[in-house]
Structure 1
Amino acid sequence: MMKKRMDFIIQELEEKGSVRVADLSRQLGCSEVTIRNDIQKLEERGLLVRTHGGAESIGAQLNIAFDGGNVYKNGDKKRRIAEKAYTYIENNDTIILDDASTSYYLAKCIKENASKHLIVITNSLVAAGMLADVKHVDLFMLGGQVGGKLASTMGDVTARYLEECHANKAFISAHGINFDVGITSIGSPQMQVKNAILRASNEVFLLADSSKFGGGYILTVCPLSRIERIITDDEIKPEYMKKAEESDVKLDIV
């Protein structure tokens, strides 16, 4: 039985690059203590490297540091939003991920679920790093000048690259959501890329935690009619839920 567990752990590592003790415990129907003991034995054999709460494959130890930006702000909400977004992705889809912090969590969902083969186009260095060695993903990294709080390519060069792309679906975020004007932005380089993503995609999903609703704006990216649906968390105010209904905006609350 131990050998079967260990074989399963190694197989998961080969597919995903990393595993979590809690997930393995649930999948194998045994205690987390048992899984930790198995991981320790596999590490002693030089087959993996233990991490906090899990393990990584030996080949996963080349780590490149990025400024975390606001990735971990409202992290639990962003994770739930990303998991819901993943349910709209179908096998063999071509998708675009923008440079939002929520894209990190969606890239993580994609990496951890090998059941769907995908073509992923992104300007996010963080999302690209997450997916670079994933066997069930064909990854395309958009060129351009690197900048932003969370490292990504942006500006007119990146927008021109997108002119050659076409995707079934795109998953983007925004600085804000204003029901009177649409999706808002505070920077022209980011807005250029988002507009190019809109042109390149059949359907666009907006991933935004509840803090994004309302407030002022400087630039408008697009009207909400261009968005297939908004996925947000359960702390959205009732007034915005009402406005979404009145504006015929599809809203998923997680």
Structure 2
Amino acid sequence: MSTPDGEEPVSDRSWVLSEVRRKTIAEIVLQEGTVSTANLSRRLQVSEMTIRRDLKKLEELGILKRTFGGAIATGRSEDVAISQRAVQNREKKEAIARACAALVQPGEILLMDAGTTMAACAAALPEESGILVVTNGIMVVNSLLNKTGIQVYVLGGTLELAPQLITGISVIEKLRSLHADKAFITSSAMGEDGSISDANIHQSEIKRYMMQAASQKILAIDSSKIGHHSLNRFAHISDFDILVVDDQITPEHLARLGREAKRIIVAPVSSAAPPTSLAKRSPEAAEPGSASRRMPL
């Protein structure tokens, strides 16, 4: 029996699981680098025609590139090894980190995303500030180990070794009960249309809940990730109060994003000059420390 879009069902499940199947295909391709249509057909128990349609859709999203008889990873949506990501665009991440640290006020509660950019932001935080950092990122925790003046709350759940983060329903349930002054979020990619996406399915959902739990939402992303798309879209640039980006961003990208972003802070990479703010602070921004009495840990 065919589905409404002409696809064959996966076992006895409904055609509505086609999105789940495509995410599974993307994860396989990204993990293995290359895969054949016939192999995917056998593993997912659907026809090769269905697989070819899925691959076409994923190629349109920029997640993979179709080849004769299969597909290869593009490298844009992959959860790249931590050791490799830690050295990629290091100067840009450090510039962004300094600009993010300058936004933090004493006594604030911060929600911090996982990843190498967030690890750099954590390392730049002022130690004697009385702030509390809530995170599910192992690299963020490691950056704060020697900062005795900063309190750290680690969200508990299932450890994902490769991206070094903690996921699971327990993380989401805890975030539902919290309120923070600021949420610092990063991502794998930002489209020219302002769409924000990430390679990790589970972390994308956690990012959404972090954003919901904070009075002020700050996106920290280096310029090399702009103009690309990753597997899981979780937000739009207009959902954030502030975008922090390095000064290697192209004028064209800056102009396009400037039409959507509430405020952009451009962090200088190669000089000691202060960051440049291209828009006024959102009037909805919360007062510093306003969440400190409302967050049950």
Return the TM-score normalized by structure 2: 0.59
Q: CA separation of 1:213/1:67 partners in 2, compared to 1, >3 Å: closer, same or farther? A: closer
Unaligned runs of 5+ in 1: 1-65
Q: What is the alpha-carbon distance in structure 1 between the residues aligned to residue 220 and residue 161 of structure 2?
A: 18
Count of residues paired in the alignment: 187
Read off the aligned partner of 2:228 and give its amino acid letter: G
Q: What is the alpha-carbon distance in structure 2 between the residues aligned to residue 104 and residue 248 of structure 1?
A: 24
Q: What is the alpha-carbon distance in structure 2 between the residues aligned to residue 135 and residue 216 of structure 1?
A: 38
**Match 1:157 to one of 170, 179, 185:** 170
Q: Establish whether residue 199 from structure 1 lines up as the match of residue 212 from structure 2.
A: yes
Q: CA separation of 1:181/1:209 partners in 2, compared to 1, >3 Å: closer, same or farther? A: closer
- Counterpart contact for 2:120–2:143, Cα < 8 Å: no
Q: Deviations over 1:59-117 (max 9, x none)?
A: xxxxxxx953512211111011000000000000000111121111111112xx33411
Q: CA separation of 1:148/1:231 partners in 2, compared to 1, >3 Å: closer, same or farther? A: farther
Aligned counterpart, 1:214: 227
Q: What is the alpha-carbon distance in structure 2 between the residues aligned to residue 148 and residue 249 of structure 1?
A: 35
Read off the aligned partner of 2:124 and give its amino acid letter: C
**Match 2:159 to one of 126, 138, 146:** 146
Aligned counterpart, 1:128: 141
Q: What is the alpha-carbon distance in structure 1 between the residues aligned to residue 215 and residue 189 of structure 2?
A: 22
Q: What is the alpha-carbon distance in structure 2 between the residues aligned to residue 118 and residue 229 of structure 1?
A: 20
- Counterpart contact for 2:237–2:261, Cα < 8 Å: no
Aligned counterpart, 1:61: none
Read off the aligned partner of 1:83 and give its amino acid letter: R
Aligned counterpart, 1:80: 95
| 3-state DSSP of counterpart to 2:83 | coil
Read off the aligned partner of 1:87 and give its amino acid letter: A
Q: What is the alpha-carbon distance in structure 2 between the residues aligned to residue 244 and residue 236 of structure 1?
A: 11
Within 5 Å, give how 1:5-154 maps onto structure 2: 68-110=83-125, 113-147=126-160, 149-154=162-167
| 3-state DSSP of counterpart to 1:231 | strand
Aligned counterpart, 1:45: none
Shift of 1:218: 3.2
Shift of 1:180: 2.5
Q: CA separation of 1:80/1:248 partners in 2, compared to 1, >3 Å: closer, same or farther? A: closer
Aligned counterpart, 1:232: 245
Q: CA separation of 1:233/1:148 partners in 2, compared to 1, >3 Å: closer, same or farther? A: farther
| 3-state DSSP of counterpart to 1:146 | strand
Q: What is the alpha-carbon distance in structure 2 between the residues aligned to residue 179 and residue 75 of structure 1?
A: 23
Read off the aligned partner of 1:164 and give its amino acid letter: S
Read off the aligned partner of 2:229 and give its amino acid letter: G
Find runs of 4+ consecutive structure 1 residues off by over 6 angstroms. none
Provide the aligned C-alpha RMSD in A. 1.9
Q: What is the alpha-carbon distance in structure 1 between the residues aligned to residue 134 and residue 110 of structure 2?
A: 6
Unaligned runs of 5+ in 2: 1-80, 268-297
| 3-state DSSP of counterpart to 1:77 | helix
Q: What is the alpha-carbon distance in structure 1 between the residues aligned to residue 122 and residue 231 of structure 2?
A: 29
Q: What is the alpha-carbon distance in structure 2 between the residues aligned to residue 181 and residue 67 of structure 1?
A: 26
Percent of matched pairs sharing the same residue: 21
Shift of 1:140: 0.3
